[in-house]
Structure 1
Amino acid sequence: MTMKKFFATCALLALYASSSLAAPKLSVGIVQLVEHPSLDEVRLAILAELKASGYGPDVAEIDYQNGQNSPSLISAICQKFVARGVNVIVPIATPAAQGAAAAAETIPVVFAAVSDPVAAGLVKNPARPDGNVTGVSDAIHPSNVLDLAEELTPGLKNYGIIYNTAEANSTNTVRKAEAEMSKRGIAFREAVVSTAAEVVPAVNSLMGKVDAIYVPDDNTTALAMPLLSQVAIEHKVPVYTAVDSLVHDGGLATSGINYTNLGRQAGQMIIRVLNGAKIADTPVEVLHEVSVVVNGETAAALGVDVSKYVK
């Protein structure tokens, strides 16, 4: 070997070693039920928290996949994560978390935006998970929203509730909301949907029969929230929601979950797990902070004074 070839070989070996050292050491698989503002907000906040804490692309490789609201696709995505041997799987929303838990027997699963992880079959004891699943819950407290509704639009006697009964997250929230409404002597009627295309007919079926609409943390309804809001505004019916992003899409107001804060909290938990924290020692967390969010344009269209909450 000539000296020229020798030095060329050394240079190549040095380059290879350098690239190997620079390669990501950790891998995170993120599967999101479907892309809409609420869940996008969670994912972006998780990524921002990881990066801000030193887990950018040079340290952690992020494989993000959209489940497209398909259980079979979510299952295939999670099986791919397992085959790759990612360090942690991060499912966003209840159906995605259920798919991840079914596919991953040993890989840590850290969920985000799951309203009731016990009812969803993800954990038995949130305080000390007994499997490989933990995460941050977006448990909804409908009483806060009803209090806000009474403040902004007093005298509401009848709510319409639009949601998909196949979603464990929204079903759980609806049961809580209906129990609270019954306690307050408020009537309610349901308009259930199975696809986003059914949302507008559902809201139209409620017009003239209800004083207001309540939308829980329902992913199906969220996909058509701008259209739902438009119909409600045309009929001067306020829409109260369980989460902030649905207000951004035309709802009047919420006193509920701030998904950016939830995503940050989930990001911090993911980091702890990446650093070796055991799932059994990582209790399920609930985002206790409640934020009042109003839509000024919707309020103006309805003639509702929200100046108290406009910054």
Structure 2
Amino acid sequence: MQFDRLKRREFIGLVGALTASMPFSGRAQQQAPTIGFLHQGFPEPLLNTNAFKKGLSEAGIDSQTVRIEDRAANGLYDRLPELAAELVAHDVAVIAANFLPAALAAKAATQIIPIVFLSGSDPIKSGLVSSINRPDGNVTGIAPMFTLLETKNLELLHELAAGASVIGALANLTNPNMEHQLGDLRAAAGVIGLDIVVLSGKDEPEIDASFASLHEHRIGAVVVTADGFLISRQDQIVGLAARYAMPTMYPLSEYVLTGGLMSYGANLRDAFRQMGIYVGRILKGMKPTDLPVLQPTKVEFVINLKTAKALGLEIPPKLFALADEVIE
């Protein structure tokens, strides 16, 4: 009897020692794993959060069995290193980094914890990974590349607002990728024969002030650049475009669903779903090096017909033919 108790004690001690020596990813599967979510803007709206959880489910992870630790910079990008360090100190199982500045901050904060990014920028040129097919280190992710669509956005806007010779470009100049986006816009504008005026939008007051200056700069239409903070202020931006009766082109359909005029870009909700799948696979034991960076190739052109009518705009037949979705 005493011998049996001794063997049981030894067995319990052995299990404890093995558990303590397991890598964190292994222990996280025994316990409730924590996902660190680093946002460069505000936390995601419910639609994107649900899409992320759907991706987790597709990877075999019940979203009810994980904890999500959110950290949001609210557009103050210089706070991202501090917030990334907080998630690392929290010992999360994986970090989901929302858009380029957040992804760069997460990568600088840890070379051990797996990172899954969602970024519209070129992941190699921006320094996130050195290879698309087999990313090295602890970083992989989803790259819809919507920052590379500025030229097409401008062309579609010019097709609708042909009388506008000066185009305003709403941009968050603290975004490390913004210089590249604005360069593409200026090059495209030069070919078409348009002038570009940059409208700064690093915070809510600056966005308000930029729209208030539209008539001063004789701006006839606006293109909104791709930026995580600007996306999180979509209601404010769409409302201002309506107040100033300004034809505006957006990089994502989320703007148009809330009343914006037109958008051309990747499906953001589906990108969050794919991000959830990758996070789920890592929680199941896969490594970032086993997961190539996904580059969704499908883009969608969405028109809000109700908004066009409110602005007194007639949609040309060519744009109707190109549209993937028309909101009545």
Shorter-chain TM-score bucket reads 0.7 to 0.9
- Provide the secondary structure at the position in 2 that maps to 1:110: strand
In structure 2, the residue matched to 1:173 is: 181
The 2-side partners of 1:182 and 1:264 are apart by 37
CA, structure 1 residues 136+213, in 2 after alignment: closer, same or farther (shift >3 Å)? same
Deviation at 1:40, TM superposition (A): 5.9
The 2-side partners of 1:52 and 1:281 are apart by 18
Partner amino acid, structure 1, of 2:94: V
Aligned: 1:61 with 2:70? no
Aligned: 1:203 with 2:211? yes
Deviation at 1:46, TM superposition (A): 1.1
Farther off after superposition, 110-119 or 147-156: 147-156
In structure 1, the residue matched to 2:123 is: 117
Deviation at 1:65, TM superposition (A): 3.0
Deviation at 1:240, TM superposition (A): 0.5
Deviation at 1:136, TM superposition (A): 0.8
- Using the size of structure 2 for normalisation, the TM-score is 0.76
Aligned: 1:32 with 2:49? no
Match for 1:103 among 78, 94, 109? Answer: 109
Deviation at 1:273, TM superposition (A): 2.5
- Conserved in 2, the CA contact under 8 Å of 1:36 and 1:222? no
The 2-side partners of 1:154 and 1:105 are apart by 50
- Conserved in 2, the CA contact under 8 Å of 1:113 and 1:262? no
The 1-side partners of 2:173 and 2:125 are apart by 14
The 2-side partners of 1:26 and 1:36 are apart by 20
Partner amino acid, structure 1, of 2:166: N
- Conserved in 1, the CA contact under 8 Å of 2:97 and 2:118? yes
The sequence identity of aligned pairs, in percent, is 26
In structure 2, the residue matched to 1:182 is: 190
Match for 2:281 among 272, 285, 299? Answer: 272
Partner amino acid, structure 1, of 2:36: G
Match for 1:247 among 247, 253, 256? Answer: 256
Farther off after superposition, 103-112 or 118-127: 118-127
Deviation at 1:100, TM superposition (A): 0.9
In structure 2, the residue matched to 1:194 is: 202
Partner amino acid, structure 1, of 2:283: L
The 2-side partners of 1:47 and 1:57 are apart by 6
Structure 2: runs of 5 or more not aligned: 1-26, 321-325
- Using the size of structure 1 for normalisation, the TM-score is 0.80
Deviation at 1:25, TM superposition (A): 4.7
The 2-side partners of 1:240 and 1:36 are apart by 24
The 2-side partners of 1:116 and 1:275 are apart by 27
Deviation at 1:167, TM superposition (A): 0.6
Deviation at 1:224, TM superposition (A): 4.5
- Provide the secondary structure at the position in 2 that maps to 1:168: coil
The 2-side partners of 1:170 and 1:290 are apart by 21
Deviation at 1:300, TM superposition (A): 2.0
- Conserved in 2, the CA contact under 8 Å of 1:24 and 1:58? no
- Provide the secondary structure at the position in 2 that maps to 1:287: coil
The 1-side partners of 2:214 and 2:128 are apart by 35
The 1-side partners of 2:141 and 2:247 are apart by 33
The number of equivalent residue pairs is 291
The 1-side partners of 2:79 and 2:151 are apart by 36
The 1-side partners of 2:312 and 2:290 are apart by 50
CA RMSD of aligned residues (A): 3.0
CA, structure 1 residues 275+264, in 2 after alignment: closer, same or farther (shift >3 Å)? same
